[in-house]
Copies of this chain bind each other. A is one copy, B any other.
């Protein structure tokens, strides 16, 4: 993925710190602020938490990344992509994406509520395959 282009497309200046943040997010899939700070410090030992927060907020405002609020956990951040849902393993805390078509759910809810729906935040919790085997 070309992060320089990605930043420019979202009207954000390209800085080494931002490239590092995006690379880490992409590699990990989802990271919370603390995880991100620990990792980014390895590359930029003098980076400050303030800079991290400012960049996260700038990228959120420009919809370059999205925040995922998770029951009983800290928010995680991911590079914005097509709509999808999230799965959380309650044993090992694995957190993954799943692509699934939610049109029928949205249609049904739309019908019942008369809401015009535009966005969804879906997190399902359970036990992953590996943890079931234990």
- State the A residues within 8 Å of B (CB): 67, 69-72, 85, 87, 89-90, 96, 98, 100, 102, 104-106, 108-110, 112-129, 132
Contact = CB atoms under 8 A, between A and B. Distances in A.
A118 B98 contact: no
Nearest to A120: B124
Contacts of A127: 115-116, 118
11 contacts: A96-B113, A98-B109, A98-B113, A102-B105, A104-B104, A110-B126, A114-B128, A116-B132, A117-B126, A120-B125, A121-B125
Given A70-B121, A116-B126, 18 more contacts: A67-B71, A69-B71, A71-B119, A85-B109, A87-B113, A87-B115, A90-B119, A98-B112, A102-B105, A113-B128, A113-B129, A114-B129, A115-B124, A115-B127, A116-B127, A116-B132, A117-B124, A121-B122
B120 A106 contact: no
Contacts of A96: 113
A123 B126 contact: no
A120 B126 CA distance: 9
